Structure 1
Amino acid sequence: MKKLARTGLLIVASLGVLSACAYGSEDSSGDDGNSSGETVEDSGEEAEEGSGGQSGGKVSIPIVADPTFNPWHPNAYAESNVVNRVLFSGLTKPGEDLVPSPSLAESWETSEDELEWTFQVREDVLWHDGETFDSEDVSYTFNEIVLNEELGANGASFFGDVEEVVADDEFTVTFKLSNPVAALPAYLGFNSEILPEHIFNGEDPWDLSSFNKDNAVGTGPFKMSTYTSGQSVVLERNEDYFGDTALLDEVEYKVLADSNTHVAQILSGELSIFSLEDTASIERIEQQDGVDVYPRETTQFYWLSLNQEHEKYQEPLVRQAITHAINRENIIDTVLQGYGTIADHGISPALEEYYRDDVETLAYDPDEASLL
């Protein structure tokens, strides 16, 4: 097996691009039907005090391909994850500092030997078709789909130590493990949404196109409204959602494969928000009235992997010399337009609870690299 040493290079910042006309009612455009570029103040009823927003309106967000409405489907890639996270719900979800917090599960505990995790699931959850969610949905999703090696479910590798999932009663479910997995609640909150047993039972989960490519039924804060392949997915607010009801009336995901089209449509007001990865057009976007750019630190890294099967890379001083020889700040300034941070160790500043800045750093120093 190859031994690899990683030399940290950069932590990339995520750039959220938001149109000022992102939120508002259908008539928030000018009389000619074009976006006015102004924030609409009367786009809906006042939200409840402390909610931090108004109810009503919709947003348009780009995705690069047609989604698959099944989080476990082998073809459910990034464009599917974005949609599925609001159509469906997992047992947990990422909370503050990414610590798992309740979602479909209200609470959980582990046995003394850490080989069993027992989850108490909510009793007030309805599927979008009105059927009641219960522990059978959880056990079915895992036993029949995730743990079925023949199916090759997307993300199944996270659950390799799960032997079976048992529905103890209507609202209690236990994961039985072959080895302790302290991170199980975290895994259950990452693209691990639960599917409806009453629809999938007896069906091939990958061939059920009436669900995966048409009319998905979830438990999330939004539900299916319309889907036109190659064009868009429109979700509407789920009024029966078990959590806080969404403020937006609708979310539209527009299928736009070309990132240049994302830029053009945010500038024209046809898109409301998207994440910008290529900073080549950042100046043009920042100069546009009614469009704002919000940098956010992420956990995305760039690094060099040095194959330590080669003797020269087994020497720590050689690896340190390589780091000293790379002008990482210049890469950030020129390639990333300033939107990045030097990665001095394996935890991003975005994870504030776990990040430390008192570690030894290896600054750009060609002379020191030569000496080493």
Structure 2
Amino acid sequence: MRETSDEGERRMNTVVRPWCAGAQKSTQGGRRRTACSDAIKLIVAVAVTVAAIGLPSAAYAGAGPAAEKPTGELRLAMAGIGVMRPIPWQETVFGKGYLLLLYDWLVGANPDGSLSSANGIAEHWEMSDDRLTWTFRLREGIKFHDGTDLTAEDVKWSLEMVTKPESIAGFAARLRATIKAIEAPDPYTVVIRTHKPDLWLAQDLSMAAGHEAAILPREYYEKVGADGFAAKPIGSGPYKWVKGLAGSVIQLEATAKHWAEGVPKYQTVTYRVVPEESTRLAMLRTGETDIIGASRERVPELQASGFNVFVKERGSVIGCYFHQQWEAVPVRDKRIRQALNLAINREEIANFIFAGQAKLMAMYPVGSFAVAAGADPELKPYPYDPAKAKQLLAEAGYPNGFETTIYSYAREDIPELPRLVEAIAGYMAKIGVKLNIFSTEYPVARTKRMTGNMPGHISCLGTPNRSNPGDLLTLMYTLHHSSSRFTDHKSPELDALLEAAQAAGTEQEVKRLIGDLHRWLYNDYATMPIAEASIPFVANSKKITAWDLGRTLYDNNDRDLIRR
């Protein structure tokens, strides 16, 4: 559309008059004012003439400063980054950080975890009066990195893929239990019909939750296949894939301009897996990397050395699982689970493993934030009582203890995890229980868990501290419902509680049932809670001056790092 003469004059006035005003302050008399007035008339006349014959005006064609462009490289060195296969249904939730740069999610989110219509594919969503249908209206004009349009068919297909039985996405079971059908009635509308009311579906399909709602291009994926896509994935996020090697490195390259994030700050972003903390520290000190994950005890010395430290306060809830409790294994007996919990001195762990930067909680994975979601604030951490632990072992038929396996691996959110595992093994040895430490990589342990190859074993993890009832319910369902590939339980009573909470019609009812679930798990000694801790990241102070780590789940608001 061509610019009118009135519009042209207004535009030139905004460019020329401020210069004239500045010039007049330093010039006596009226000569400069007259010159400025003549200049404005001349420039407006030329601009209108140019517009009239269809040529680009100076205001659009380089009269101002050069367009912003991404520059330089951002380098992150972490203990672990998922399985580094950039397909949501073949990647763990711990790879969400790099996926956030590669893809867009169906529903956007703000850094505090609240939902947003500004940075997600859906610009509007609503639940029907009977609470059995969700409708998502997609914004038009979003394109994948190959230039094709992102449409409702891509959303429908992506969600169907991530909820297939073979999906390893953490919350796939929860979504399968909810979603009855997905429809795409037109290119920019998605309709999801549910088996039962679900107040939290939009939350589960947002950037605030996991990675299940990252949207991929159906046509390209089906053309190249899963392996071809993993080698050269295409998304619609602010960065494009350059290369990746599982267990080693992922490198991304900026797009010219992202529809929501604008022009990215860095030309390239490189994620590198470096399990050894000493190596990460050396890389930071020598300038080989810009950001690292560091243990809590290292924070004071690194701050004193001039590095910036960014902390996700009480961000991780840390604990251990007793796997496959339904099988003929010692931890099937509640008295054994109670004994193992009483054997641990959590105060010592908080002080000496986590450098005093941890707070005890009553039940993993329910942290202090969960009180806002309905968790019971009256529950207290299990006491340290090794004498009672030995008594319980004897009552359960194991007066001389027993032997099992505990897994050890590096994790981004818990650099101290190998030392934590050693400490737990030490406490258990004092009551006669021998824990054989199996040192491995997290994806290996996760696969064993999903395939049911951890009978009676123990593994430890950290999970985000949650305050949203929907987020907490999704996690509880994933960890404890008998239909989930990650469950450690097959309890009809527990299943019924989880299903009732999922089908509840009001937030108040969901919170009440979360309180019941919290107490059930606590009284069952279902897991081995350790503590909740803040998560520190250390950065080059000249390069990274600000970073809002946010409160979204399983990521550290990586997009904030690439914003200008």
TM range (shorter): 0.5 to 0.7
**Secondary structure in structure 2 of the residue aligned to 1:334:** helix
- The answer to whether 1:335 aligns with 2:356 is no
Deviation at 1:234, TM superposition (A): 2.8
Q: Residue in 2 aligned with 1:191?
A: 211
Q: Residue in 2 aligned with 1:51?
A: none
**Structure 1: how far apart are the matches of 2:289 and 2:371?**
31
**Secondary structure in structure 2 of the residue aligned to 1:72:** helix
Structure 1 segment 308-323 matched on structure 2, within 5 A: 310=333, 312=335
Letter in 2 for 1:187: D
One of 178, 188, 191 as aligned partner of 2:195: 178
**Secondary structure in structure 1 of the residue aligned to 2:88:** coil
Identical amino acids, percent of aligned pairs: 20
CA deviation map 1:197-230 (0-9, x unaligned): 22123554x23x2x2123x211112223x32637
Q: Residue in 1 aligned with 2:175?
A: 159
CA deviation map 1:300-339 (0-9, x unaligned): 232676999646579xxxx6x9978854333211111122
- The answer to whether 1:268 aligns with 2:286 is yes
One of 87, 92, 116 as aligned partner of 1:77: 92
Deviation at 1:85, TM superposition (A): 1.7
**Structure 2: how far apart are the matches of 1:46 and 1:296?**
40
Q: Per the alignment, do residues 93 and 359 of structure 1 end up closer, same or farther by CA in structure 2, a change over 3 Å counting? A: farther
Deviation at 1:286, TM superposition (A): 3.8
**Structure 2: how far apart are the matches of 1:233 and 1:322?**
40
One of 64, 72, 75 as aligned partner of 1:60: 75
Deviation at 1:268, TM superposition (A): 1.8
TM (norm. structure 1) is 0.68
CA deviation map 1:159-191 (0-9, x unaligned): 213232110111110112222332221221220
**Secondary structure in structure 2 of the residue aligned to 1:195:** coil
Q: Per the alignment, do residues 46 and 55 of structure 1 end up closer, same or farther by CA in structure 2, a change over 3 Å counting? A: farther
- The answer to whether 1:229 aligns with 2:235 is no
Q: Residue in 2 aligned with 1:136?
A: 153
Q: Residue in 2 aligned with 1:213?
A: 231
**Structure 2: how far apart are the matches of 1:342 and 1:46?**
54
Q: Residue in 1 aligned with 2:378?
A: 359
Letter in 1 for 2:284: I
CA deviation map 1:93-115 (0-9, x unaligned): 44365333331111211223322
**Secondary structure in structure 2 of the residue aligned to 1:160:** helix
**Structure 2: how far apart are the matches of 1:236 and 1:353?**
40
**Structure 2: how far apart are the matches of 1:79 and 1:358?**
29
Q: Per the alignment, do residues 293 and 241 of structure 1 end up closer, same or farther by CA in structure 2, a change over 3 Å counting? A: closer
Q: Per the alignment, do residues 57 and 338 of structure 1 end up closer, same or farther by CA in structure 2, a change over 3 Å counting? A: farther
Deviation at 1:283, TM superposition (A): 5.2
Greater CA radius of gyration, 1 or 2?
2
**Structure 2: how far apart are the matches of 1:96 and 1:233?**
24
One of 111, 133, 137 as aligned partner of 1:116: 133
Q: Per the alignment, do residues 176 and 283 of structure 1 end up closer, same or farther by CA in structure 2, a change over 3 Å counting? A: same
Tell me which protein shows more helix as a share of its residues.
2
C-alpha RMSD of the superposition: 3.9
Q: Residue in 1 aligned with 2:553?
A: none
TM (norm. structure 2) is 0.47
Greater Cα shift, 184-193 or 290-299:
290-299
Q: Residue in 2 aligned with 1:25?
A: none
- The answer to whether 1:200 aligns with 2:216 is no
Q: Residue in 2 aligned with 1:245?
A: 262
Greater Cα shift, 236-245 or 118-127:
236-245
Gaps of 5+ in 2: 1-64, 390-564
Deviation at 1:265, TM superposition (A): 0.9
Checking the alignment, whether the CA contact within 8 Å between 1:126 and 1:240 is kept in structure 2 is no
Q: Residue in 2 aligned with 1:297?
A: 314
Q: Residue in 1 aligned with 2:489?
A: none
Tell me which protein shows more strand as a share of its residues.
1
Letter in 2 for 1:81: K
Deviation at 1:349, TM superposition (A): 4.0
Number of aligned residue pairs: give it.
Answer: 306
**Structure 2: how far apart are the matches of 1:213 and 1:227?**
8
**Structure 1: how far apart are the matches of 2:187 and 2:359?**
48
Checking the alignment, whether the CA contact within 8 Å between 1:347 and 1:355 is kept in structure 2 is no
- The answer to whether 1:89 aligns with 2:109 is no
Q: Per the alignment, do residues 294 and 152 of structure 1 end up closer, same or farther by CA in structure 2, a change over 3 Å counting? A: closer
Checking the alignment, whether the CA contact within 8 Å between 2:75 and 2:272 is kept in structure 1 is no
**Structure 1: how far apart are the matches of 2:371 and 2:238?**
28
**Secondary structure in structure 1 of the residue aligned to 2:155:** helix
**Secondary structure in structure 2 of the residue aligned to 1:233:** strand
Gaps of 5+ in 1: 1-44, 49-53
**Structure 2: how far apart are the matches of 1:213 and 1:107?**
33
**Structure 2: how far apart are the matches of 1:141 and 1:77?**
16
Letter in 2 for 1:140: W
Checking the alignment, whether the CA contact within 8 Å between 2:181 and 2:193 is kept in structure 1 is yes
Q: Per the alignment, do residues 366 and 163 of structure 1 end up closer, same or farther by CA in structure 2, a change over 3 Å counting? A: closer
**Structure 2: how far apart are the matches of 1:81 and 1:138?**
18
Greater Cα shift, 121-130 or 241-250:
241-250
Q: Per the alignment, do residues 304 and 72 of structure 1 end up closer, same or farther by CA in structure 2, a change over 3 Å counting? A: closer
Q: Residue in 1 aligned with 2:367?
A: 348
Letter in 2 for 1:329: E
Checking the alignment, whether the CA contact within 8 Å between 1:347 and 1:354 is kept in structure 2 is no
